[in-house]
């Protein structure tokens, strides 16, 4: 989706048309290069460097990144930091599953009694180091500039709705969320850290009196988690078959090659327009995402209990978890948009899309190519017909992407891919699995 402006249809009457796509791309690059010199360089990079951490480290942080990452690792795997005593970060982000969910549940359970459901599918934490901070052009302050620029999909950030800009900011969320690790306050987390087996390392790194300042101890724990996720090689191995293929060290099978061609084919699959699969100009390996947000109209998932309330909708960028981009703020075009995830290690998952509606890659791919040709396969049917895009309020369904292939077809038309072609694409997607994950699956 880097190559056109999706929201041209949403521009209000009287506003000038958005600028043509070449300048859109150019503008985005200029922005990235101007505002994010560090992140920009590492955007698709193989380079295991901290993308944006360097600017935000607390002053008190010791100059011992390896020790900090090692401490972060202990915190990441420590279930005593949860109210239930049963879950750590690694419970939901399991290293043997590319730091993704270990099971096929649409959403995981947490909370003090381990009976509270999450709201969204667990993403893989592999390759999070390359994420850029959230950027939404609507927030350009000058209204004249905004008019001249037109409206584009937002990019970047962490979480399905991009609501966190840094990994340390993000790490606070699961520690305190009532349906995840469910601590009542940062002080409670600090008290648990003080009792943890690695408390001595904490004191060694941050001073003997670190626990006298719970807010500081908490902030250092978040920084340690961030350092672990950024620096530990297990988060960015770049050793999939596809990486080897890009480096000329492996050949794709005929089937994988056919799948890749379908994935790239702009008229049929068009997947690579959002899930970028080419090397960067500097030779860096692709992450199979463009960091943008889109509404794909994934069907409502009855496995999520909150959905039994017909008035509840997870609308991604416009809430309920993210509150700064809401429709009330004059940006209804953001409702229903979710982040384009990386497809690295996607074949190892048991749950797909933000609401975990699909449980096999085959179904997820069938949805892409038959969403519009066979809508009755996916959506409820009422007396007045099929209710497409039923997981969004009626007035927000116009935000769903109907202009990017293969999402442009009409009911009854031929789907973009046959079932056999879907199998070819699955074969290609399997080449995106890192080596350790492939062997873990084979051993199971």
Enumerate binding residues for ligand HEC (CB under 6 A): 1, 87, 89, 91-93, 108, 110, 118, 120, 122-123, 125, 128, 158-161, 167, 170-171, 174-175, 180-181, 225, 269-271, 273-275, 294, 296, 298, 321, 338, 340-341, 343, 346, 349, 352-354, 364-365, 368, 401, 404, 406, 425
Whichever of 205 and 425 has its CB closer to ligand HEC, that residue is 425
Q: Which is nearer to ligand HEC, 212 or 403 (CB)?
A: 403
DSSP string covering 51-83:
SSSGGG--TT--S-HHHHHHHHHHHHT-GGGSS
Give the nearest distance from C-beta 267 to ligand HEC in angstroms: 12
Q: Please, what is the minimum distance in Å from the beta carbon of residue 304 to ligand HEC?
A: 11
> Residue 120 or 285: which CB sits closer to ligand HEC?
120
As a whole number of angstroms, the distance between CA 181 and CA 178 comes to 7
CA separation for the pair 387, 198 (Å, rounded): 54
In the complex, the smallest distance separating the C-beta of residue 308 from ligand HEC, rounded to whole angstroms, is 19
Backbone angles phi, psi at 399, to 5 degrees: -80, -15
Nearest approach in angstroms of CB 428 to ligand HEC is: 9
Cβ closer to ligand HEC: 146 or 398? 398
Please say which residue, 258 or 275, places its beta carbon nearer to ligand HEC.
Answer: 275
- Tell me how far, at minimum, the Cβ of 225 lies from ligand HEC, in Å: 5
Identify which of residues 93 and 300 has a Cβ nearer to ligand HEC in the complex. 93
Q: What is the token pair recorded at 428?
A: 């290609």
Smallest separation (angstroms) from ligand HEC to the CB of 94:
10
3-state secondary structure 122-145: CCCCCCHHHCCCCECHHHCCCHHH
What DSSP character marks residue 281? T
Q: Where are the alpha helices (DSSP H) in 141-213?
A: 143-149, 167-176, 186-195, 199-206
Cα angle 198, 204, 210; round to 5: 85
Whether 292 contacts 154, CB under 8 Å: yes
How many Cα neighbours within 13 Å face the side chain of 201?
18
**Degrees to nearest 5, angle at CA 288 with 286 and 291:** 100
């Amino acid at each position: 989706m880097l190559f056109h402006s999706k929201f041209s249809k949403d521009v209000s009457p009287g506003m000038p048309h958005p600028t043509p796509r070449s300048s859109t791309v150019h503008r985005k690059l200029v922005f990235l290069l101007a505002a994010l010199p560090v992140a920009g360089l590492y955007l698709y990079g193989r380079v295991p460097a901290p993308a944006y951490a360097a600017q935000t480290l607390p002053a008190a942080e010791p100059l011992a990144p390896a020790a900090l990452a090692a401490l972060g690792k202990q915190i990441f795997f420590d279930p005593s930091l949860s109210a239930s005593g049963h879950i750590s970060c690694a419970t939901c982000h399991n290293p043997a599953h590319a730091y993704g969910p270990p099971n096929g549940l649409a959403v995981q359970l947490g909370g003090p009694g381990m009976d509270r459901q999450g709201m969204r599918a667990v993403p893989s934490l592999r390759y999070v180091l390359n994420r850029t901070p959230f950027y939404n052009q609507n927030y350009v302050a000058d209204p004249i500039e905004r008019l001249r620029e037109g409206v584009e999909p937002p990019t970047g950030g962490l979480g399905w709705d991009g609501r966190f800009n840094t990994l340390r900011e993000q790490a606070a969320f699961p520690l305190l969320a009532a349906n995840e690790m469910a601590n009542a306050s940062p002080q409670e987390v600090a008290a648990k850290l003080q009792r943890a087996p690695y408390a001595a390392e904490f004191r060694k790194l941050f001073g003997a009196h670190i626990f006298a300042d719970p807010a500081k101890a908490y902030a250092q724990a978040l920084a340690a988690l961030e350092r672990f996720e950024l620096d530990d090689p297990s988060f960015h191995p770049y050793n999939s078959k596809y990486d080897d293929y890009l480096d000329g060290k492996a050949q794709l099978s005929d089937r994988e090659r056919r799948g890749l061609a379908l994935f790239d084919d702009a008229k049929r699959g068009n997947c690579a327009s959002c899930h970028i699969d080419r090397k960067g100009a500097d030779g860096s390996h692709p992450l199979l995402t463009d960091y943008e947000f889109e509404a794909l109209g994934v069907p409502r998932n009855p496995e999520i209990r909150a959905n039994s309330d017909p008035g509840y909708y997870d609308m991604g960028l416009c809430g309920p978890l993210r509150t700064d981009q809401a429709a009330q703020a004059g940006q209804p075009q953001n409702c229903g948009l979710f982040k384009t995830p990386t497809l690295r290690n996607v074949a190892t998952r048991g749950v797909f899309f933000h609401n975990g509606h699909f449980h096999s890659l085959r179904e997820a791919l069938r949805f892409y190519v038959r969403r519009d040709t066979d809508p009755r396969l996916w959506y409820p049917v009422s007396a007045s017909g099929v209710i497409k895009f039923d997981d969004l309020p009626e007035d927000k369904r116009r935000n769903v992407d109907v202009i990017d292939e293969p999402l442009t077809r009409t009911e009854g038309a031929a789907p973009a891919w046959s079932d056999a072609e879907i199998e070819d694409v699955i074969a290609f997607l399997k080449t995106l699995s890192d080596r350790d994950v492939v062997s873990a699956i084979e051993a199971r």
